[in-house]
Amino acid sequence: EIKEGPLESSKYPGGIGYLLLDMIYRLDYLIKPEGCMMEALDRMKRLFFANDDKSVAEKNRLLSKELEKLQKRSKKSFFKEMYRVKTTFGITPSVTHDRVVSFIDGELKHMDWYNENNYGKVAMAIPGFIVGYCLFNFASPRPDRDFLHLFYEITEYKYFKDLGFKINYVDDESGKLNKKVIKKAIEKIVDKNQGAFPKLSPSMSALNFSSMTEFAKSYLQMVRNPDLTKVD
């Protein structure tokens, strides 16, 4: 999609950047690599967000080259770096829910143009990037982290099923989102956190289940809205 998709990389470097960053954060969070791969992914993030003279297009080219290097590594080298760890991302600064809200508001609006102009994969990469960035950079309140993790479980449901998780967020035959199962998962997060966050009450009525892209947008809008006032 990055190299051969319909979006011209020279004309729309921002869209290509979202595709690359979404991929990098997903790989880091879902695979939990150690060693060479972990260092490479961290290096790519630093490279993209470095305050230097490089253009977005130039940074995209550098990230693409780094990802190609990872792709060329042998399976043996790759699997040597796969072992269980307690956390998937390192220590990050604690932030309030407002910081997550601010980041969602600053980025999610860029999704509309790509969606309206039929660049669906780029549109989908934007909420994916938001989720990955927040999980990597912020130690946000527990409900936020739970909701962001659920986003990955839903959008990467095949990956989680292959790992042995008993989830049915998407119907395998029709490809349609399972509204009832997703709402139950959200309710489970609310129940788990209600003691510490008694005002936690996400509005599920606005969730759009018509497609994964529409769902992703409406889901993050739902995540930004609850009152996460904590009881001490």
Per-residue pLDDT in tens (0 to 9) along the chain, 232 residues: 565 566 777 789 999 999 999 999 999 999 887 778 889 999 999 999 999 999 999 999 999 999 999 888 777 777 776 666 555 555 677 899 999 999 999 999 999 999 999 999 999 999 999 999 999 999 999 999 999 999 999 999 999 999 999 889 999 889 999 999 999 999 999 999 999 999 999 999 999 999 999 999 999 999 999 999 988 7
> What 8-state DSSP symbol labels residue 226?
S
- pLDDT on residue 140: 95
The domain ranges of the chain are: 1-88
Residue 84: the pLDDT is: 60
Q: Residue 177: enclosing H or E segment and its boundaries?
A: none
d(CA 18, CA 32): 21
What distance in Å separates the CA atoms of residue 39 and residue 32, rounded to the nearest whole number? 12
Contact 104, 224 (CB under 8 A): yes
Alpha-helical segments (H) within the chain: 13-31, 35-49, 56-71, 75-80, 97-108, 111-116, 120-137, 142-155, 157-162, 179-193, 212-224
Listed in sequence order, the residues at least 6 apart from 61 whose beta carbon sits closer than 8 Å to its beta carbon are: none
Residue that the structure tokens 């780029």 belong to:
122
CB contact at 8 A, 34 and 83: yes
Report the distance separating Cα 68 and Cα 214, nearest Å.
Answer: 31
Query: Which residues are within 8 A (CB) of 101 and not within 5 positions of it... i.e. 6 or more apart?
Result: 224
**Rounded to whole angstroms, how far apart are CA atoms 141 and 100?**
9
d(CA 223, CA 130): 12
The predicted structure's pLDDT at residue 114: 95
Three-class DSSP category at 207: coil
Q: Are 15 and 114 in contact (CB under 8 A)?
A: yes
**How far, in Å, CA of 162 to CA of 55, rounded?**
39
